[in-house]
């Protein structure tokens, strides 16, 4: 049974953030996700989740100065202390909000840092975060992202993520598989999901090109939804796309795709 979660960073953004929970519930979503909760008190968000009976599927660890273009700091050797403080903050929010998984955006390769040095830092940081989260029964996710949209992003391919997870030696790190990003980087979506079903704990979707809703581009989402049911995927699928003509106007894709 397909479980769709509304990404409140991208959907219902015609409303102020704190009004998007009600909008998502009224549109029929039972789960939500978003990039970051840290601009709000955790209790404020918890009140919205409870009021509209929504599950918080996940949010991200703090990712540096987002407004300045940073997209994570896990690969920054000179910011390990800041990363660890962010892990603590993310856990505090997750416990209040009921989130059972947190995503780590590893960031862009810093200027003057070698790939090997960045990789060593990522492995160290991921192991630390996974161990800390495990104490609270929270899973850590990592997400490959295409480097067309985010030039210089350190983690861009599925196998690279699998290798990082292996090298941490941790049993508490899983893959967040974004169909849009991986269509742009490597294709072979269905076979990749099938091959890595055991470590994929969360999926996100958008069509390509444009990152709009399913049915606007080249990705065969009817086939993918059927395949996910066939392999017994039980996790959430986050709707992380840009509505082409307004959120509500674009939600017809769910009925058209049988989800």
Residues tagged active-site? 143, 240
Question: Is 39 within 8 Å of 236 (Cβ atoms)?
Answer: no
With 0-12 CB in 10 A as exposed, 13-18 as middle and 19+ as buried, what is 232? Answer: exposed
Distance of CA 125 to the CA centre of its chain: 18
Helix (H) or strand (E) holding 189: helix 189-195
With 0-12 CB in 10 A as exposed, 13-18 as middle and 19+ as buried, what is 201? Answer: buried
Question: Is 216 within 8 Å of 244 (Cβ atoms)?
Answer: yes
d(CA 53, CA 123) in angstroms, rounded, equals 37
Listed in sequence order, the residues at least 6 apart from 6 whose beta carbon sits closer than 8 Å to its beta carbon are 12, 20, 24, 27, 29, 31, 32, 33, 238, 239
What is the chain's Cα-based Rg? 17
φ/ψ of 184, rounded to 5, equals -70, -30
């Amino acid at each position: 049974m397909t479980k769709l979660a509304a990404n409140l960073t991208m959907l219902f953004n015609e409303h102020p953030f704190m009004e998007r929970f009600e909008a998502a519930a009224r549109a029929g979503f039972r789960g939500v996700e978003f990039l970051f909760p840290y601009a709000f008190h955790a209790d404020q968000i918890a009140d919205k989740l409870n009021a509209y009976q929504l599950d918080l599927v996940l949010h991200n660890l703090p990712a540096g100065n987002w407004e300045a273009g940073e997209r994570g700091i896990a690969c920054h050797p000179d910011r390990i202390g800041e990363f660890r403080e962010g892990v603590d903050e993310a856990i505090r929010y997750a416990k209040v909000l009921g989130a059972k998984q947190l995503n780590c955006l590893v960031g862009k390769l810093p200027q003057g840092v070698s790939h090997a040095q960045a990789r060593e830092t990522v492995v160290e940081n991921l192991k630390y975060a996974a161990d800390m989260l495990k104490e609270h029964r929270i899973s850590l996710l990592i997400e490959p992202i295409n480097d067309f949209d985010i030039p210089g992003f350190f983690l861009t391919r599925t196998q690279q993520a699998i290798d990082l997870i292996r090298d941490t030696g941790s049993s508490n790190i899983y893959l967040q598989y974004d169909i849009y990003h991986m269509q742009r980087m490597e294709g072979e979506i269905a076979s990749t999901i099938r091959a890595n079903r055991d470590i994929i704990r969360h999926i996100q979707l958008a069509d390509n090109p444009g990152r709009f809703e399913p049915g606007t581009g080249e990705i065969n989402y009817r086939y993918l939804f059927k395949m996910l049911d066939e392999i017994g995927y039980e996790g959430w699928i986050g709707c992380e796309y840009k509505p082409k003509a307004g959120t509500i106007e674009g939600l017809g894709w769910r009925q058209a795709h049988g989800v």
